[in-house]
Chains A and B, each alone.
Chain A
Amino acid sequence: AQKVTQAQTEISVVEKEDVTLDCVYETRDTTYYLFWYKQPPSGELVFLIRRNSFDEQNEISGRYSWNFQKSTSSFNFTITASQVVDSAVYFCALPDTGRRALTFGSGTRLQVQP
């Protein structure tokens, strides 16, 4: 069965600090996608990124970057120069291909203090 572990329950940083959110996964699939979602206080989960297991290159999008390491089954998310608007719950997810659903980690709540 798929499993996603986000060991950090809550992280608090001061604005402009860099922060890394960890994600470790387990899967028997040989090829797969990995996802990150953001849930701001409004409640709706917002898609951030999808990575294919074939592509281990780091991805950068503005202040966001993702480090995918298949050897350690990790898909970590770094926010550079954090801002108050980054305050949210962040979820890592892995497809449960047998059910077309996503298996989510328990989430990491990020608080960015001004």
Chain B
Amino acid sequence: DVKVTQSSRYLVKRTGEKVFLECVQDMDHENMFWYRQDPGLGLRLIYFSYDVKMKEKGDIPEGYSVSREKKERFSLILESASTNQTSMYLCASSLPPGQGHTGELFFGEGSRLTVL
């Protein structure tokens, strides 16, 4: 089974702090994603990566950055946390569509971040 592991289920941080959210997948997937989930808004894509050291902006990248130094690990960084970044953060991974793969995303359990 594919396993996507997010380092922290619950975090409480203060405004202005630097926050790291870590995500590791164990299936050698090329693609990795960070989504943010808010009530009524569904999941919104923050950043994604197709390969090591590669990153692309999603729909809401402002206030975030990412790092992918190894294929299995994709980190989301909040340089200076703000209260409007209080949310559930979901990491996912996938293989690209084709060769029998449909682009299905495999998700971690989520990290619920509260910024005070």
Q: Which residues of A contact B (CB under 8 A)?
A: 4, 6, 9, 33, 35, 37, 42-47, 50, 91, 95-97, 99-107
Stretch at the interface among B17-25, B70-78, B79-87, B98-106: B98-106
Instruction: Find chain B residues with CB under 8 A from A42 CB.
Output: 109
User: Could you tell me which B residues sit within 8 Å of A by CB distance?
Assistant: 9, 31, 33, 35, 40-43, 45, 48, 50, 56, 58, 88, 90, 92, 94, 96-97, 102-110, 112
Shortest distance from the beta carbon of B49 to any chain A beta carbon, whole Å = 10
Decide: A106 and B58 in contact? CB cutoff 8 A.
no
22 sample A-B contacts, Cβ–Cβ < 8 Å, listed by A number: A33-B97, A35-B104, A37-B107, A43-B88, A44-B108, A44-B109, A45-B90, A45-B92, A45-B105, A47-B105, A91-B43, A95-B103, A96-B45, A99-B45, A99-B48, A100-B31, A100-B50, A100-B103, A102-B103, A103-B45, A104-B42, A107-B42
Q: Which residue of A lies closest to B30 (CB)?
A: A100
The reply to whether B40 and A43 contact each other, CB–CB distance below 8 Å, is: no
Tell which of B9, B96, B103, B107 touches A45, judged by Cβ atoms closer than 8 Å. Answer: B107
What are the residues of chain A within 8 A of B107 when measuring CB–CB?
37, 44-46
- Could you tell me if A100 and B94 are in contact, using CB atoms closer than 8 angstroms? yes
Contact assessment for A100 and B96 in the assembled complex, using a CB-CB cutoff below 8 Å: yes
Contacts of A95 in B (CB 8 A): 97, 103
Residues of B within 8 A of A46 (CB): 107
- Cα A9 to Cα B88 with chains together (Å): 18
Set B42, B92, B110: member contacting A105, Cβ < 8 A: B42
Q: Give the shortest distance, in Å, between B34 (CB) and chain A (any CB).
A: 10
A47-B106 CB under 8 A given contacts A100-B96, A104-B43: yes
The reply to whether B97 and A100 contact each other, CB–CB distance below 8 Å, is yes
Known A-B contacts A44-B109, A50-B104; A97 and B97 likewise in contact (beta carbons under 8 Å): yes
Give the distance in Å from the alpha carbon of A58 to the alpha carbon of B112 in the complex: 36
